[in-house]
Chain A
Amino acid sequence: MGGFILVRTFDGVIKLLLVSMILFWVLVVLPPGNPALRFAGKTPTDAKIADVEKKFCFDQGNVGAYRCFVKMTVTGNFPSPSQGDANVVPMALKAVPVTLGLAILASIMWLTAGVTAGAKGALKAGTRTDRSLMVGALIGISFPTAWLSLLMLKWFTADIPIFPPGGYVGPAEGGIFSWMHHMLLPAATLAIVSAGVYTRMTRTTVRQKLREEYVKTAEAKGLSPRRVFGWHVMRTAMIPIVVMFGMDFAGLLGGAIFTESIFGLPGLGGFVMLAMQTTDFAMLFVGGLIAATFVIVANTLVDLVQAMLDPKLRAA
């Protein structure tokens, strides 16, 4: 297991380097013209451009500049010329807990709803309950997140004002209840959009597992239905769900852009939106890299968890 972890970690670092290269290529090499001009902000002076050229090593060619970028990211000091040379790394890191909280709250909601509904559908396959659950899941999947966010905002902050219309209060400043009050609506929005996928996936895998021979054996042994379902069916059915969950959760950390920008949450999505609106290339680079890091870390974790859950994979 130790070797496996080491290999996967090394692999993750290499992937992160490749992602950073692609990001660098998109932001620096691909667009024509002087990159210093792009990084220097909206109305740069000549002195500023020269300063940026030096700071980001654009005068040393693409390879030199890339080395500079990596060094600045690793040391955690990445200045943004269009924000008065403020360091953007702490800005981005400050946004992480906001997004993390949102993602955790949303995923608790969608996992509970999705897996319960999916298991129920599988157990009652073919009945009206099953069919209405599946139609509901499909409708949830079909919602554009942005529109659903706007609808939620209209219904629950304007029509029936039970939630604050956006904004963020950290658990440290306003207490856990105030935090929940601000987070519940955006989290529910994300949960509605995602739960459907989990409902359908759970239903398919549970139905497959119910047909397995070992489930019949367990029943024949005289185990209680609760034990058969909870241990023999659900444990194995959870494997693909865990895999998908890992990826979705990581994706959410890097890109709950719609929900965060509509509900005014200062998370990573908001960070990236701000970067785009101010065309701040330094912020885009750092934000993109942090988001990709989440995906790669989650990928590695998913592999490990999968290996732990599945004895066949553990040996490999």
Chain B
Amino acid sequence: MTAAGMSQPNHAGGTAISLPGALVRGGETHELVTQQSESPSQLAVRRFRENRVAMVALVGFILICSMSFATPMIEKWAGHTATEQNLDGFVMRGGTKVEVVSLQGMPAIGPGLHKQYLMGADGLGRDVFVRAVAGGSVSMRVGLGATMLCIVGGTLMGLVGGFYGGRVDKVLTYIVDVMIAFPFMLFAIALTAAIATSGKIGPLSATSIWVPTLMLGILSSFGFSRIMRANAKELGAKEYVEAARALGADDKRIMFVHLLPHLVPTIITYFGILLAGMILGEAGLSFLGVGVAPPTPSWGNLIADGRVFYSTAWWIAGAGGLFVMLTVLCANLVGEGLEEAFDPKGNR
């Protein structure tokens, strides 16, 4: 016997109200008005969907992602792969034959509405647009991988430290303090210089894209663990933790079954901001030559490739930079939208 009337989401800003439904009981008709409350996650989803800026950013982000993962198709459409060089070829531009790379080694094809070289050519006659698309899949993989690593590592450290407190917490906090004092780019440079001499680190070759992913992910997890620690500490003092313990739950169960789910909204909130940071980090590392190893394209490598031609062939660095900027902007806006959506103090 439920009072499920015609449930209708109310977009005017109220909670979903089930309209007056007729309930027949013992021959009598009662008018019932029930307030059906939303679960917190339903509320967050609705708030996010009502945030137009965040939705546009999400669509933009998904577009960039899907374009990146459609690299093989775009390579086929443009007629060459991301690493294919064309040092002494010609293309038709406005009825005349134009060389792709001039005799002096300058990229001569700028951006224009053409199937080949949509965003121009680089110093080796490679198609900048195809490189940007293919580089997107590399940058996105590095960014997403590093974000996941950072979240898993940071949450584990924060959860353990915040939950146990005492000596465990002190040691962990100290480690985090020391690691944060380490300038990130310097650490990356030192590490890359160290592994470049041997060409290998453990099972990884120095040119694997796992190297920048691990570097970004692990080094940023220390900063993230601070946020998680503060949250876990607050949650650990709640009554339900005591209740769970009284029922005989061990530490592991309390941490992962009772505390972790409550950290999920915070993790989701930080996802976009972390991802944005990681994509910027990849661009930075690759620009310095300590990230994704060339000739594998990545957005950071595009900026690095364009460095020498910064005033003449601005489109090389421009393609990489623009894609990084748009992706980071979208990720930040989505992150901001999520933050507002999960804010318990926000209006319903």
Q: CB within 8 Å of B: which residues of A?
A: 15, 18-19, 22-23, 26-27, 30-33, 38, 138-139, 141-148, 150-151, 153-154, 157-159, 251, 254-255, 257-258, 261-262, 272-273, 275-276, 279, 281, 284, 287-288, 291-292, 295-296, 299
Expressed in whole angstroms, the Cα–Cα distance for A154 and B318 within the complex equals 11
22 inter-chain pairs at a CB distance below 8 angstroms, sorted by A residue, are A19-B178, A22-B178, A22-B182, A23-B190, A26-B190, A32-B198, A139-B329, A144-B299, A144-B300, A144-B324, A146-B287, A146-B321, A147-B283, A147-B321, A147-B325, A150-B303, A154-B310, A154-B311, A158-B310, A272-B186, A273-B288, A288-B190
Q: Tell me, yes or no, whether B317 is within 8 Å of chain A by CB.
A: yes
Q: Tell me, yes or no, whether B314 is within 8 Å of chain A by CB.
A: yes
Q: Tell me, yes or no, whether B348 is within 8 Å of chain A by CB.
A: no
- Assuming A26-B194, A138-B332, A147-B320, is B183 touching A292 (CB within 8 A)? yes
Closest CB of chain B to A144's CB: distance in Å? 4
**Contact A276–B290 (Cβ < 8 Å):** yes
**Which B residues touch A145, using CB under 8 A?**
284
Total chain B interface residues with beta-carbon distance under 8 A: 50
Q: Tell me, yes or no, whether B146 is within 8 Å of chain A by CB.
A: no
**Which A residues touch B196, using CB under 8 A?**
279
**Contact B325–A258 (Cβ < 8 Å):** no
Expressed in whole angstroms, the Cα–Cα distance for A275 and B192 within the complex equals 12
**Which A residues touch B326, using CB under 8 A?**
142
**Contact B303–A144 (Cβ < 8 Å):** yes
Expressed in whole angstroms, the Cα–Cα distance for A31 and B193 within the complex equals 10
**Contact A284–B189 (Cβ < 8 Å):** yes
**Contact A147–B317 (Cβ < 8 Å):** yes
Q: Tell me, yes or no, whether B114 is within 8 Å of chain A by CB.
A: no
**Contact B303–A146 (Cβ < 8 Å):** yes
In the A-B complex, the 10 residue pairs with the smallest Cβ-Cβ separation, listed nearest first, are A147-B321, A158-B311, A254-B183, A142-B328, A142-B329, A146-B287, A150-B310, A291-B183, A31-B194, A144-B283
**Which A residues touch B307, using CB under 8 A?**
146, 150, 262
Expressed in whole angstroms, the Cα–Cα distance for A279 and B194 within the complex equals 9
**Which A residues touch B164, using CB under 8 A?**
none
**Which A residues touch B180, using CB under 8 A?**
295
Q: Tell me, yes or no, whether B187 is within 8 Å of chain A by CB.
A: yes
**Contact A255–B186 (Cβ < 8 Å):** yes
Expressed in whole angstroms, the Cα–Cα distance for A43 and B191 within the complex equals 21
Expressed in whole angstroms, the Cα–Cα distance for A144 and B319 within the complex equals 12
Expressed in whole angstroms, the Cα–Cα distance for A257 and B197 within the complex equals 22
Closest CB of chain B to A92's CB: distance in Å? 12
- Chain B contact residues, majority secondary structure: helix
- Assuming A138-B332, A142-B329, A276-B288, is B193 touching A19 (CB within 8 A)? no
Expressed in whole angstroms, the Cα–Cα distance for A27 and B186 within the complex equals 12
Expressed in whole angstroms, the Cα–Cα distance for A159 and B310 within the complex equals 11
Q: Tell me, yes or no, whether B276 is within 8 Å of chain A by CB.
A: yes
**Contact B197–A19 (Cβ < 8 Å):** no
**Which A residues touch B333, using CB under 8 A?**
138
A253: nearest residue on chain B (CB-CB)?
B183
Expressed in whole angstroms, the Cα–Cα distance for A286 and B194 within the complex equals 15
**Which B residues touch A284, using CB under 8 A?**
189-190, 193
**Contact A19–B288 (Cβ < 8 Å):** no
**Contact B190–A147 (Cβ < 8 Å):** no
- Assuming A30-B194, A138-B332, is B283 touching A146 (CB within 8 A)? yes
Expressed in whole angstroms, the Cα–Cα distance for A284 and B185 within the complex equals 12
**Contact A27–B190 (Cβ < 8 Å):** yes
**Contact A143–B325 (Cβ < 8 Å):** yes
- Assuming A31-B194, A296-B181, is B288 touching A142 (CB within 8 A)? no
**Contact A258–B284 (Cβ < 8 Å):** yes
B39-57 near A? 1/0 per residue, CB < 8 Å:
0000000000000000000
**Contact B324–A147 (Cβ < 8 Å):** yes
**Contact B310–A153 (Cβ < 8 Å):** yes
**Which A residues touch B185, using CB under 8 A?**
255, 257, 272
Q: Tell me, yes or no, whether B177 is within 8 Å of chain A by CB.
A: yes
Expressed in whole angstroms, the Cα–Cα distance for A27 and B198 within the complex equals 12
**Contact B284–A144 (Cβ < 8 Å):** yes
Q: Which of B47-71 touch A at CB < 8 Å? A: none
Expressed in whole angstroms, the Cα–Cα distance for A151 and B194 within the complex equals 32
Q: Which of B141-192 touch A at CB < 8 Å? A: 177-178, 180-187, 189-192
**Contact B314–A154 (Cβ < 8 Å):** yes
- Assuming A33-B198, A144-B284, A150-B317, is B186 touching A287 (CB within 8 A)? yes
B330: nearest residue on chain A (CB-CB)?
A142
B289: nearest residue on chain A (CB-CB)?
A276
A-B contacts besides A139-B325, A159-B311, A257-B288, 13 pairs, CB < 8 Å: A30-B194, A30-B201, A38-B197, A138-B333, A142-B332, A146-B283, A147-B324, A150-B303, A150-B317, A287-B186, A288-B190, A295-B182, A295-B183
Expressed in whole angstroms, the Cα–Cα distance for A202 and B144 within the complex equals 30
Expressed in whole angstroms, the Cα–Cα distance for A143 and B325 within the complex equals 5
B292-310 near A? 1/0 per residue, CB < 8 Å:
0000000110011011001
